[in-house]
A and B are shown apart, each in its own frame.
Chain A
């Protein structure tokens, strides 16, 4: 998960390298650090360093990290021969390595040799039953084969042991959402918010799921979480501002005619609407008309 500043920094560096301005190694390190998936670029620029003996030796011991990074990127781009070569180089240097063993397992996955990959991972797990990466590879394999219920089961088992793995909770939430299992997705986001209460993305995702679930109580809670997202992002998150407006409108619909004891304070939505109009006026002037009609149709 990457912040806007980090993404801008990464894209700037990427553009620089794309346009021949150098900085390939910095770019590759940043991709590794932020754990983003830019396999085509990593493959291209990683190989340009690895294939140049001078550049390669200038890396010192980092050379092996790069081999690993390029191997994975190559597998992601289905360039299996490149991956094989990288893994061969790593095996030569680290013959008994479990870490390289993992890469060999991934190569089997990339080839679609599921049974062999399963065997390889199981044997690695025998020696190291708490290897988180391998447990997650097994989930990924289930998903890749279309066995979504298997993936969910494995992921739930994994989270019973490694309950602090935020990426795993997010993955599980997204799988649940894709199956329209919104209550279960909500539970995942609740776990995330409990453990990292100041990460706005979780508040936003939770609000989105609650809105989708619907019903007065969920809509009211959803509105609160859009509000907390706005708070945590300094009012700059378009999705949260729109979310507040959507919630207000939906709450109005659902509670039409009902006893309005719990009177909604109108300030929040009018502030959100104003903030949106200001944003659009400044940055997307041509769409301002559409925004105003949208807000009007939501009766804000």
Chain B
């Protein structure tokens, strides 16, 4: 048994060694790239998936066709290394702004099949961020809110720094401040306490 286990261990080590040699030889990318970059052949082909930023007009035209957009509408994100690639820059409008009466393919998302999705689509669904016009201008709303919150904070801060209460004094009890109840000696006479001044 021990010999068999030893043999199997040696085989595993040999296989691991071969695998490492095969992977590190030549231009093969590292293990993480291999694990994460493998895609099943049943999925979309490489030209249907988002690619890198389009540099030539032909690449732009191909990207516009891939995303089902007209060439005038297709505009990629600026290429500053943030990782967008050739994904189109769509107007920042929430799904709530779309026509509620049109027969969308997916009515709750107000989207048709095959339509290019905004990069932040999951933010712009109707349950979340909404860019519909507001009753009052945004600037007015913001100023009013910040003004109110700022004023309340200021007043509370001032109240902490300069407290202003009704004047209070320690509670006065009868029977010489409850001398007997507090365990005072009944033989001894408590000294009288005067709480007033005439």
Instruction: Note whether A and B form a binding pair.
Output: no
B interface vs A, CB < 8 Å?
none
A interface vs B, CB < 8 Å?
none
